[in-house]
Structure 1
Amino acid sequence: MSIFESLGVPLLTVAVTLGGGWLVTTRVTDHWDRIKKNRDMDLTAAGEFQRLYGEFVAVWKTWNALTSGHTPVTSPEHPGWACLERATAAEGAIEALLAKLAAERVLTREEVDVLGGVRQAFKAVRRAIQQGEPLDWWSSEIQPYAAFKSLASAVSVLLGTAPRSRRRPTAAVAARTFREITHNRHEVQWIEAADGISLGARSS
């Protein structure tokens, strides 16, 4: 038996073992890289949402300080025009964030209601500006304000929590989910969505 023949089988075994180990290691590394990438994207989205919440509060406080005359904002010359621009920009950014969530996560009915509710809550300051009235959330116990805080907290938790499934929605499912999030029914039900969060917390 030649040296090649005597060493061939062991060498082949070693090569196969090393090759298999490399494939397994590569797949595991790719898997964890995807998890890390998704986690980084979630944290970025959470940071963006928290920034927008802060922007909402800043616009609200600024607008209320300007509304002694109670005049609707109808032109760029109005001192509250910048507030209106910032409020609409925040709404647009929230809309984009919700579209992203609908495309990346399989959402439950309750999560859809929470996201639809927070979208409606973000409209409050713009509507107050357009009416020329202060946003009268003067107490933490005012129902819309309490609801907004509950919804914002729930969205922050959702964004900071890894999805229950790595499965991504199809384009059709994502489109249907986004339509549900932006449905007009949330205009009258968004406070109820926040109440549902409170009830769930008490029963858990």
Structure 2
Amino acid sequence: MGATLWAESVKAVPNLVVALLTLALGWLVGNRLTARWDERKKRRELDLLALGVFYEIYGEFFAVWKLWNNAPMRVRDDDGFHRTLLDRAAETEGKLESLLVRLASERKLSDRDCTLLGCFRQAVQSLRESVREKADLRSRVIWRGQQVISIPWYGSEAPPYLAFKALAAFAADLLSKSSDLDTRAETAYSALKMITSNRLERTWLQEASVLLPLDDLPGSTA
């Protein structure tokens, strides 16, 4: 009786080992899948927060622009009003710079992506520069083969304004996509260096007209 029980127990060992291994493997795989899913979910939540920050930057840009352009000259000359709007324009740029660092470090950006983000950065800087000079919103750029000229943002069809809207749409679309988990530090540095290059300071409007579908932009070569 004892020998028979022992023999049956020995026969059952392989099955028990297989069952235990199966359970252990299932637990390990399940935990990894759960951890990966949680990580992706968390990253997606952060991506959506970043997109929300971008919308805030866009809204603040317009708020400062309209307050400044619609202010009478006597109000513009008021030191308190001028300083307040100049500070708000600078804060808007600061938020954008922070967002651009995040984009460079968390996404695999092409040269085109980096150039267009740099163009958007330069467009946003036009506001602070205009407020500093106590002038209506304008951009000093090289355009249509001319030397540096000052182009106002008057009307919805003004070249800088049209380009700005297209650049904003591009940036929002980029931010709406999932970020990458394996972006390398050297790649992030190269991307950020291209985005913040001063070479775009006077050429951003022309670059945007070439890289984006701006057929309705006067003087566009797209």
- One-letter amino acid of the structure 1 residue matched with residue 186 of structure 2: A
Contact 2:44 / 2:178 at 8 angstroms: preserved in 1?
Answer: yes
- One-letter amino acid of the structure 1 residue matched with residue 185 of structure 2: A
The alpha carbon displacement at 1:71 in A equals 5.6
The alpha carbon displacement at 1:32 in A equals 1.7
TM-score (norm 1): 0.88
**DSSP-derived class of the 2:203 partner:** helix
Task: Rate the CA distance shift 1:99–1:67 in 2: closer, same or farther, 3 A.
Answer: farther
% identity of equivalent residues = 36
Selected match of 2:61 from 36, 56, 67: 56
Task: Provide the alpha-carbon RMSD of the alignment.
Answer: 2.0
Moved more, 8-17 or 145-154: 8-17
Selected match of 2:213 from 188, 198, 203: 198
Task: Report the counterpart of residue 143 of structure 1 in structure 2.
Answer: 159
What are the superposed Cα offsets for residues 96-146 of structure 1, whole Å, 9 maximum, x if unpaired?
110111111110011001110111111111111111112142211000011
Contact 2:163 / 2:205 at 8 angstroms: preserved in 1?
Answer: yes
Is 1:21 the counterpart of 2:33? The answer is no
Q: Which structure is larger by alpha-carbon Rg, 1 or 2?
A: 2
The alpha carbon displacement at 1:160 in A equals 0.3
Q: Measure the CA separation in 2 of the matches of 1:113 and 1:92.
A: 19
The alpha carbon displacement at 1:67 in A equals 4.3
Task: Report the counterpart of residue 149 of structure 2 in structure 1.
Answer: none
Task: Report the counterpart of residue 178 of structure 2 in structure 1.
Answer: 162
The alpha carbon displacement at 1:175 in A equals 1.3
TM-score (norm 2): 0.81
Q: Measure the CA separation in 2 of the matches of 1:199 and 1:133.
A: 27
The alpha carbon displacement at 1:38 in A equals 2.0
Task: Report the counterpart of residue 49 of structure 2 in structure 1.
Answer: 44
What are the superposed Cα offsets for residues 44-69 of structure 1, whole Å, 9 maximum, x if unpaired?
11110011000000000011122424
Once the two structures are superposed, the pairs formed by residues 5-154 of structure 1 within 5 Å of their partners are 5-69=10-74, 77-135=79-137, 136-154=152-170
The aligned length equals: 195
**DSSP-derived class of the 2:167 partner:** helix
What are the superposed Cα offsets for residues 142-174 of structure 1, whole Å, 9 maximum, x if unpaired?
0001111110110000000125xx453322221
Query: 1 or 2 for the larger relative contact order (CA 8 Å, sep ≥6)?
Result: 1
Contact 1:105 / 1:169 at 8 angstroms: preserved in 2?
Answer: yes
Q: Measure the CA separation in 1 of the matches of 2:164 and 2:214.
A: 15
Q: Mark the runs of 5 or more structure 1 residues left unpaired by the alignment.
A: none
- One-letter amino acid of the structure 2 residue matched with residue 190 of structure 1: W
Q: Measure the CA separation in 2 of the matches of 1:78 and 1:65.
A: 16
Q: Mark the runs of 5 or more structure 2 residues left unpaired by the alignment.
A: 138-151, 216-222
The alpha carbon displacement at 1:199 in A equals 5.5
**DSSP-derived class of the 1:107 partner:** coil
- One-letter amino acid of the structure 1 residue matched with residue 64 of structure 2: V
Q: Measure the CA separation in 1 of the matches of 2:19 and 2:76.
A: 82
Q: Measure the CA separation in 2 of the matches of 1:67 and 1:183.
A: 35
Task: Rate the CA distance shift 1:84–1:62 in 2: closer, same or farther, 3 A.
Answer: same
